[in-house]
């Protein structure tokens, strides 16, 4: 099974788009996304220096655009992707590229959202001196306890021995004077405490914009940063991306879900290397491919052919499906039968795992066409549970 991942802020480096822009089609598409984002992405991807592209308002649109356009080079006929990609995920801002790749939102919508996301997060960061520090090594529980002691947030949990602390400059200074045992601290060159309460103003900005965004159910399972759950409903994908701006990134749980799904290959969009590097340490037995330059495209396609399998989701437009958000035991609520009608937000059951119990609700009303599981069945992330015929759809 193949998973495609998109990196987050910090992965960019000066000139990383230069070889890609030798392709006229790529260059024209980047020109279009530059118009949508209001930024000269050609300049920022080729000529701008490291300090310039560190700017949140620049880095985020640049990263999303690079992932989107590289995906179009990898799959010139986008529909082919759905016969190969088992799931998608993005780290932080990379979730916007993943959502667009899964067709939950359009590429243009992703670029508008990331444009405003970057600006809003930059403004929020400017309100008070905040930053982030990588905490490498140490005992996980001890690290988290030490961060809590100093009022810091574990803004990124990237797996064993890789936690990023975020908060005010003063809080991080106190951590530097009193670090967790056996841990190494590496201050990060970022503009603020992303994925913490300090980004709440940016969530408000994006929330207003999101109300006007039209969504579609994802054509490929989307693994959410918030808790590693698989999300199918387009509105839920969008809602999670909005609130994620001020919530920690649980990439460790995303990788756990990938392993539960049976992923055998992970391909990372450019500027690649960060997420595949983490996977090599945390996802033993999973083959990785870091797509960095266009001369790797043939090898990348061969990698996709090797690991690819069709998404488990049914794309027949007359059906809607509810899928399991996580691995666990399905518990049905009530006694819904085929032919029964349900209202929007009706709870059909829950999935209980060792970590928690997650309700499964229908975001839309409709008629039960077919149960695909039974009460008490063990289910995997993204597994279809029930097929519905939505209200107002003629089959």
Give the closest residue to 55 by CA, choosing from 189, 188, 165. Answer: 189
Round to whole Å and give the CA distance between 367 and 343.
9
Round to whole Å and give the CA distance between 291 and 73.
11
CB 12 within 8 A of CB 43: no
Do you find a cis peptide bond into 271, omega within 30 degrees of 0? yes
Q: Which residue has the tokens 């193949």?
A: 2
CA end-to-end distance (rounded Å), the chain: 32
Cα 99 vs. chain centroid, distance in angstroms?
7
Find the catalytic residue in 91, 150, 195, 346.
195
Residues 6+ apart with CB under 8 A from 390: 320, 364, 365, 366
Predicted local distance difference test score (pLDDT) of residue 188:
87
Angle at CA 63, nearest 5°, toward 276 and 53? 115
222-223 and 162-168 beta bridge pairing? unpaired
266: its two tokens: 């992970």
Question: Per residue, what are the HEC states of 336-363?
Answer: CCCCCEECCCEEEEEEECCCCEEEEEEC
CB 75 within 8 A of CB 2: no
For residue 237, CA distances in Å to 64, 103, 305 come to 16, 11, 27
Angle, helix 107-126 to helix 94-101, in steps of 10 degrees: 170
Q: Residue 86 in 3-state DSSP? A: strand
Find the catalytic residue in 34, 67, 92, 350.
92
Predicted local distance difference test score (pLDDT) of residue 10:
87
Predicted local distance difference test score (pLDDT) of residue 318:
54
Task: Indicate the pTM of the whole model.
Answer: 0.87
Give the chain's length: 395
Q: Please, what are the averages of pLDDT over each run of 10 residues along the chain (395 residues)?
A: 94 96 96 96 96 93 97 85 89 97 95 96 93 94 96 94 95 96 90 93 95 92 95 94 96 96 96 95 95 97 90 60 91 89 91 90 87 93 88 46
Which domains can be identified in the chain, with CATH numbers? Answer: 2-124+197-307 (3.40.366.10), 127-187 (3.30.70.250), 320-390 (2.40.50.100)
Active site residue 92: yes
Predicted local distance difference test score (pLDDT) of residue 315:
52
């Amino acid at each position: 099974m193949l998973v495609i991942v998109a990196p987050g802020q910090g992965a960019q480096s000066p000139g990383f788009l230069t070889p890609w822009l030798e392709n006229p089609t790529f260059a024209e598409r980047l020109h279009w996304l530059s118009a949508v984002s209001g930024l000269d992405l050609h300049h920022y991807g080729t000529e701008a220096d490291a300090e310039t592209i560190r700017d949140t308002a620049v880095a985020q649109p640049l990263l999303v655009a690079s992932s989107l356009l590289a995906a179009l080079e990898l799959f010139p006929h986008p529909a082919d992707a759905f016969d190969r990609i088992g799931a998608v995920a993005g780290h932080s801002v990379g979730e916007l590229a993943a959502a667009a790749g899964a067709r939950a939102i359009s590429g243009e919508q992703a670029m508008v959202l990331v444009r405003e996301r970057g600006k809003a997060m930059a403004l929020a960061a400017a309100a008070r001196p905040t930053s982030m520090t990588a905490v490498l090594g140490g005992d996980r529980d001890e690290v988290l306890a030490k961060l809590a002691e100093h009022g810091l947030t574990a803004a990124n949990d990237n797996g064993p021995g890789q936690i990023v602390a975020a908060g005010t400059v003063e809080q991080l200074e106190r951590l530097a004077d009193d670090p967790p045992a056996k841990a190494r601290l590496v201050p990060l060159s970022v503009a603020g405490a992303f994925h913490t309460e300090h980004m709440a103003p940016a969530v408000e900005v994006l929330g207003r914009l999101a109300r006007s965004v039209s969504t579609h159910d994802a054509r490929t399972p989307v693994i959410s940063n918030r808790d590693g759950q698989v999300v199918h409903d387009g509105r839920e994908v969008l809602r999670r991306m909005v609130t994620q701006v001020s919530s920690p990134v649980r990439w460790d749980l995303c990788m756990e879900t990938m392993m539960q799904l049976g992923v055998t290959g992970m391909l990372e969009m450019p500027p690649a290397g960060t997420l595949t590097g983490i996977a090599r340490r945390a996802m033993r037995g999973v083959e990785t491919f870091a797509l960095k330059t266009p001369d790797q495209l043939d090898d990348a396609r061969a990698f996709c052919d090797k690991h690819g399998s069709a998404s488990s989701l049914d794309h027949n437009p007359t059906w809607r499906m509810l899928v399991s958000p996580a691995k666990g035991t399905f518990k049905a609520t009530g006694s819904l039968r085929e032919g029964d009608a349900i209202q929007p937000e009706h709870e059909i059951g829950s999935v209980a795992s060792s970590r928690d119990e997650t309700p499964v609700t229908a975001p839309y009303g409709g008629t039960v066409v077919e149960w695909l599981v039974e009460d008490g069945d063990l289910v995997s992330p993204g597994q279809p549970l029930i097929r519905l015929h939505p209200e107002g759809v003629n089959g």
